[in-house]
Amino acid sequence: MIPNERPRPARPETRDLSELRALKARLPELAPAIDMQVELVELHRRIQLRVSTPSPVPASEREARRRQGRRALELSDVPIEWADAGLAARQTADILHRHEVLEPADHRRLVAVVREGSDLAPLVAAWYAETAQGPGTRTPASTRPPMLDDVLQLALRPFFGRAVEVAERGIDLGDWSRPWCPFCGASPDFAVYVDDDHRQLICSRCIGRWEWEAIGCPWCPNRDRRQLPTFTSPDHRYRLCACDGCRRYLKAYNAQGAPRPVMPAVDTIATLPLDAAAAQRGYIGV
Ligand SMILES: [Zn+2]
Ligand SMILES: [Zn+2]
């Protein structure tokens, strides 16, 4: 722990849970997805209490990584305690299995892999190394069990989240122009429009945020507005930005005049109807 650190304010996850419950009352057809998300958020909070605060990366090293266009966090900068990580992965797999997102055979295999936290370390190292230069350098994950990457992404979020909280205090993202995370190298899976001209992408792994082009596809070079249709939720709070070049899309929260800030744990679920509409038109989610 960093000495003399001020106590953190109440964590926003409490708000996540109340927003998810309100969403369920409003859109009961989303109940199965919301119930699973509530369990994942509760697990995230329990694990978060056990995660220590890492020392910041020294300024000289931070600057060297920035100059080289590298991500801000190496795995050794993330305060992963492997027994806790194993527990988080096991419980994440159990939640996905209970909600029928994970097949029984895949669940058994995953549980065997993560039973010993120490077995997890080399798998996590390989998984993290694949995004060292952004998602484009990914190699086929043939040696890892199916769905392990998805479980790791959810289970390790409390550890990565804590590392990002520390890293973002001393970082200058001014010249970061890539559509992948400046902290951990993963792809975005959500975005927030601060206003019509400013969009921040939100990392699928660490929830880090960074400013990127307001118009434009993060997955391909398409920048032609006519080839970038958007779909909006009835209340105009959410926007789905599709691409006719690569057929992928990214969803976003419109923060202009919004009653609350973006909450990825809530907003990715609240926008499931937009995913369904995009799928009907042949677009593929991230
Ligand atoms: Zn990230
Ligand atoms: Zn595209």
Give the pLDDT confidence score for residue 178 in this predicted structure.
Answer: 94
SS3 (DSSP) at 209 = strand
Task: Give residue 71 CA to ligand 1 midpoint distance, Å.
Answer: 9
In this predicted structure, the answer to whether residue 2 has a pLDDT above a threshold of 60 is no
Residue 218 DSSP label? S
Q: pLDDT at position 118, please?
A: 65
pLDDT category at 1 given cuts 50, 70, 90 is very low
- Pairwise pLDDT comparison (14 vs 193), residue with the higher score: 193
Residue 201 pairs in a beta bridge with 191, 210
Q: What is the pLDDT of residues 122-154, one digit of tens each?
A: 999 999 999 988 886 556 655 788 889 999 999
Please report which helix (H) or strand (E) contains residue 238, including its range. strand 238-242
Please report, as a single letter, which amino acid is at residue 12: P
Q: Are strands 188-195 and 249-254 parallel, antiparallel or unpaired?
A: parallel
Give CA separation, 264 vs 15, 113, 269, in Å: 12, 29, 8
pTM exceeding the 0.85 threshold for the entire prediction: yes
Ligand 1 center from residue 6 Cα (angstroms): 25
What is the phi/psi pair of residue 39, to 5°? Answer: -65, -40
Q: Sheet containing 230-232: give its strands across.
A: 209-212, 198-203, 188-195, 249-254, 238-242, 230-232
Identify which ligand lies nearest to the alpha carbon of 227.
2
